[in-house]
Amino acid sequence: MGRRRRPVFVLQDHRKPRPHFDLRLEEGGVLRSWAVPRGLPTTARQNRLAIAVPDHDLDHVDYTDETKFIADTGWWEEESRDDRRIVFVLHGRAGPRRYALIDTGEDWLLHLTKQQPAD
């Protein structure tokens, strides 16, 4: 029996039309996507606005052009989920980081959790 492939994530840095980041998580055969204007939070005291945008095809994982480059990539794992929150770990170039995406009813907030996984 073959080993199951881990779902990928990519963080893309866009320079136009206005600088922002796109967080994309592979799920259900597509990349679920959020625009994050100020980038991923770097401390648990920060929440960052995350605006859900249309899903992208999986071939968008390694897409770059003159205004878009890959800031980070790797695989991700879901730790918990309910109707308003997804807790997950990104396993990127700098090691694992745990985040929560919180649905506010209008947009989403991206939060770096206090408890972080061991490297």
Summary mean pLDDT of the chain: 94
CA distance 76 to 66: 27
- What is the tens place of the pLDDT at every residue in 22-48? 999 999 999 999 999 999 999 999 999
**Which pair of structure tokens corresponds to residue 70?**
């890959």
Distances (CA, A) of 93 to 70, 72, 104, 119: 11, 6, 29, 11
Distance CA 20, CA 11 (A): 10
Instruction: Measure the CA–CA gap between 47 and 69, rounded to whole angstroms.
Output: 24
User: What is the Cα 54 distance to its own chain's centre?
Assistant: 14
Cβ pair 101, 110 in contact under 8 A: yes
Q: pLDDT over 90 for what percent of the chain?
A: 89
The per-residue pLDDT for 5 is 86
